[in-house]
Structure 1
Amino acid sequence: MSSETSELTFRPAGPADVPALVALVESAYRGDSSRAGWTTEADLLEGQRTDVEGVTAVIDAPGSRLLLAERDGELLACCQLEHRGERAYFGMFSVRPGQQGGGVGRRVLAEAERVAGAEWGVRELEMTVIEQRAELIAWYERRGYRRTGEFSPFPYGDERFGVPLRPDLRFEKLIKAL
């Protein structure tokens, strides 16, 4: 396809990007549209994944960057980077469901690692992944991330992060040396 031969471009998100970003994140993780890709959380969580306030807060936070990946002006993916001293946090990673499995996510992750290491000078990139997402954790492991065995609870009762469909959700921290 000619669209896949066009180069991905990266840029920081701004306030005008918020509505498209909310739609992208929701489409990648929630509801039936998310099932077109492989990163869906629809079997684990219902409700929202993010909202206008959450995305705006990431864009406005000091030491934070919401990175967009576009091809020919079309938003295909995004990720959050947050500078945390010698580490950076990687989150809100979303790839349009129809684009998943074609290398877009690998390229976004590589760009996030480049920004964190080259621009911020951090030594490690960390993230948290829902422990039950074995296929996703394995994808990160193939890209050099290691499971730490450090867990944090899922925010049950805070519907800003979704409505859990099971009682045992928790996050595991993954880290990669840059």
Structure 2
Amino acid sequence: MDIAPATARAELTFRDATESDVPALVDLVESAYRGDASRAGWTTEADILQGQRTDADGVREVLSAPSGKILIAQRDGEPVACCQLEHRGEAAYFGMFAVRPSLQGGGLGKVIIAEAERTAREDWGASEMHMTVISVRQELIAWYERRGYRRTGKMTPFPYGDERFGVPQRADLAFELLVKAL
């Protein structure tokens, strides 16, 4: 029996992010995806993208959107994970998902995504969760598929030339839409 998610949930508190959380959120997201620090976890994009994953303006934009929020998971008052949720009618969008690299692989991500799904379903009445994942991230896509997400084959081009999203290290990047019924 896998008890990690139950254990992880018991130690966590969840809350909506505020403006004062912006620096900590930028650090958390950057540490999970970019640079050498991200290599401590398995979600790193350091080999396919250099540069930034997000910045303070990007986080503020999500926080100021009337239909969205960033959910923070804390342990002992410190942010250990986060995700963006955006209400889009019948669906909710899930993004900016980050777990501190040193805590990855222990079931925390499962707990966070379950809380995001519960929030979207109960608070917004969403019937589906949508997300986009870089299509070459096969291990990450497989992880989402094990959580009930399905690949749609719907692709969106990667924003090459817009360094707010990073500096691509390969020419075949695109985002694939994954969907889960809630």
TM-score (structure 1 length as normaliser): 0.97
* AA of the residue aligned to 2:164: R
Partner residue of 1:33?
37
Map of 2:110 onto structure 1: 106
**What's the offset of the Cα at 1:74?**
1.3
1:144 aligns to what? Answer: 148
Q: Tell me the amino acid that sits aligned with residue 157 of structure 1.
A: G
Q: Does the 8 A contact of 2:8 with 2:111 survive in 1?
A: no
Q: Percent identity?
A: 69
Paired AA for residue 109 in structure 1: I
Deviations 1:86-106 (A, max 9, x none): 000000000000000011110
Give secondary structure in 1 for the equivalent of 2:125: coil
Q: Partner residue of 2:181?
A: 177
CA distance in 2, matches of 1:157, 1:93: 23
1:7 positional shift: 1.6
Is 1:120 aligned to residue 136 of structure 2? no
- CA RMSD of superposed structures (Å): 1.2
2:73 to 63, 69, 77: 69
Q: Where do 5+ consecutive residues of structure 2 fail to align? A: 1-6
Residues 1:130 and 2:127 aligned together: no
Give the TM-score normalised by structure 2: 0.95
**Aligned-partner SS, 1:35:** helix
Gapped regions of structure 1 (runs ≥ 5)? none
Q: List structure 1 runs of 4+ shifted beyond 6 angstroms.
A: none
Worse-matched range after superposition: 4-13 or 92-101: 4-13
Deviation at 1:55, TM superposition (A): 0.3
Residue of structure 2 aligned with 1:11, choices 8, 15, 19: 15
